[in-house]
Amino acid sequence: MNLDQLLSKVEGLKTVLTQKLQTEVETIAQDGLVLVTQRISETGINAQGGKFKPYTPAYERFKRGAVGTAKREGADKRAARKTASASSDNPVGRFTGFRNFTLSGQMLSSTGLGQGPEDRFKNIGVTSSTADRGRITVIVGPRDEFTGKKMEGNENVTPGWNHLSEKEIRTIAGYSRERLTEFALQFIGG
């Protein structure tokens, strides 16, 4: 192999590695989004392990009443729902007993949890990915203006609501390590 052939192989390797790393960073971002969404919607816990501050009483009443049969229910049933105890296993309307940043599938609940693959990350997800001079940048955010306004409003009320916890970072790093190890073994062996 002459110097030109070696240089060509190194350039090819550089291209393959850059593409793989960009794909890996995008996967890391999507994995992080899934983990944060699950934690928030299932537990109402922030990245530091504390509970998010509760909804305002008016918004909690709205979520308690946000069910398909609310208009057909009697007044007694609607009144009982306003004070009923709620949990993620036994929600009252769309209120789970804690702040979970979901309501009607328009923000967090539209990230694909419990939906088909075609709906995965519909409104929040990777919005751009670039590789420039060895630096890969992936931006996760809203994919439409409506969701962007909801996310901005939540950020104003609860700063950092969508951050990763230390445990989630370790989990994502483990997944990435496994994928990159497999890639390296295939690359070396192939």
Domain coordinates of the chain in residue numbers? 23-51+111-190, 55-97
Q: What is the pLDDT of residue 121?
A: 45
Q: What is the pLDDT of residue 116?
A: 44
Q: What is the dihedral of CA 86, 124, 46, 163, to 10 degrees?
A: 180
Stretch 130-140: mean pLDDT: 86
- Is the pLDDT at 89 greater than 90, yes or no? no
With cut-offs at 50, 70 and 90, classify the pLDDT of residue 112. Answer: very low
For 6-50, the pLDDT digits (tens) are: 778 778 777 888 889 999 999 999 999 999 988 988 899 999 999
Stretch 124-132: mean pLDDT: 87
With cut-offs at 50, 70 and 90, classify the pLDDT of residue 52. Answer: very high
With cut-offs at 50, 70 and 90, classify the pLDDT of residue 75. Answer: confident
Phi-psi region at 174: left, alpha or beta (left = phi > 0; alpha = psi -120 to 50): alpha
* C-beta of residue 163 within 8 angstroms of C-beta of residue 47: yes
Question: Poorest-confidence range of 29-38, 59-68, 107-116, 120-129?
Answer: 107-116
Q: Distance between CA atoms of 47 and 43, rounded to whole angstroms?
A: 11
Q: What is the pLDDT of residue 117?
A: 41
Chain mean pLDDT for the chain:
82
- Is the pLDDT at 80 greater than 90, yes or no? no
CA distances, 88 to each of 26, 39, 165, 170 (Å): 30, 12, 21, 26
* C-beta of residue 101 within 8 angstroms of C-beta of residue 41: yes
Q: What is the pLDDT of residue 61?
A: 85
